[in-house]
Amino acid sequence: MLTTKIKNKEYLSDEKEVLIKDLLLKNGINSSFEAKRIEKGGNNQAFLIETDKEKFFCKFYFKHKNDTRNRLQAEQSFLHFCSENKIECVPKMPAYDLKNNLALFSFIKGESFHTKLKSDDVLQAKNFLFNLFTSSKKMQHYPLKASDACFTLKETLFSIEQRIKYVYSEVFSQNSLLFCEAQKLIEKVLLPEWERAKKEVEKLNLDSISLAEKIYFVSPSDFGFHNALTYNNNIVFLDFEYAGYDGALKAFCDFFCQPQVPVSLCYLDSIAEVFVSNEAEFLAFTECARKILPAYKVKWCFIMLNQFTKVGKDRRMFALKKDIETQQREQLKKISHYLEYIN
């Protein structure tokens, strides 16, 4: 009979406790365990599971009627792809339950990134992307597209435009003080930045666009050092719930634009080498990337405004149980700092 010691019991319902027990049993583990809530991340509920002999990371994935993405399936498919191709800088997923939307991962010892990145850190990220890209070229079929996959610049601009329209409609549907601050930010800063960004893309050479759009791979999506742990100078990359087949430009631009652990543009040419096989492709890819980066920076500002949307608020409350107004205020500050950093 499994017995459970639970810290932060309010986060783990009796139903979820039973689901964890069942998943451990399916993995051949018939022992008592301790569950400790991990207060990290804004998308899912996570627990450290400690049995008599080993530790696991357990994740309950967020689901919403207005967000139909299957996050568990995306992550499981990506980790299976890595395992098949002997890509080892990712966690193992020994057991999962698609019906109930939870998974067990191998426990990764390490620290999050809080300091300035070293060149070796970026080299490890580059090697990870290189292994994914070369493995993708050998692959005949991959079952899933990445979340918001974009294979052309036209699709990219349309995707960002749709995100802007959605967040705009949600933010302008309320008139509290915080929402008014967000409205002012959108009207005075972000929309003018978006118009300038689109004009930069219009300057692109059509031949460069044609070459760059032919480069795609199995992408980790939302890739960067914000989703990584380091221990003894070895990095493990995490959180692949948006992963799938995607254009390389999107993964590349997101890598440089994600706000939590910024990557210097001095590494742009080096990372671009992953995705190209000759000088013509390199010049085309880097030209497109430099012209479209401002559009991705605007996209990330709107991503940071997700807490002002209904789905975004529900997801954060599911993951963190933290006062939503505090989160919204924090996001507005983050956007201000981000805009100072990129301008």
71-119 pLDDT, tens digit each = 999 999 999 999 999 999 999 999 999 999 999 999 999 999 987 899 9
Least confident of 3-7, 13-17, 234-238, 327-331: 3-7
Mean pLDDT of the chain: 90
The enclosing H or E element of 123 equals: helix 119-138
Least confident of 44-58, 122-136, 142-156: 44-58
Q: State the pLDDT confidence band at 126, using cuts at 50, 70 and 90.
A: very high
* Distance in angstroms (rounded) separating the CA atoms of residues 301 and 314: 19
CA angle 262, 194, 219 (to 5 degrees): 50
Q: Is 97:164 a contact under the CB 8 Å cutoff?
A: no
- Report which residue type is found at 208: S
pLDDT score for 1 = 44
pLDDT score for 35 = 87
Residues 6+ apart with CB under 8 A from 331: 304, 305, 307, 308
- 7-106 shares its CATH topology with 119-342: no
**Buried-state track 108-135, b at ≥16 Cβ within 10 A, e below 16:** beeeebeeeeeeebbebbbebbebbbeb
In tens, the pLDDT along 174-233 reads: 989 999 999 999 999 999 999 999 999 999 999 999 999 999 999 999 999 999 999 999
pLDDT score for 321 = 64
Q: What is the CATH number that goes with domain 119-342? A: 3.90.1200
In tens, the pLDDT along 251-305 reads: 999 999 999 999 999 999 999 999 999 999 999 999 999 999 999 999 999 999 9
Task: Write down the domain spans for the chain.
Answer: 7-106, 119-342
The fold for domain 7-106 equals Phosphorylase Kinase; domain 1 (3.30.200)
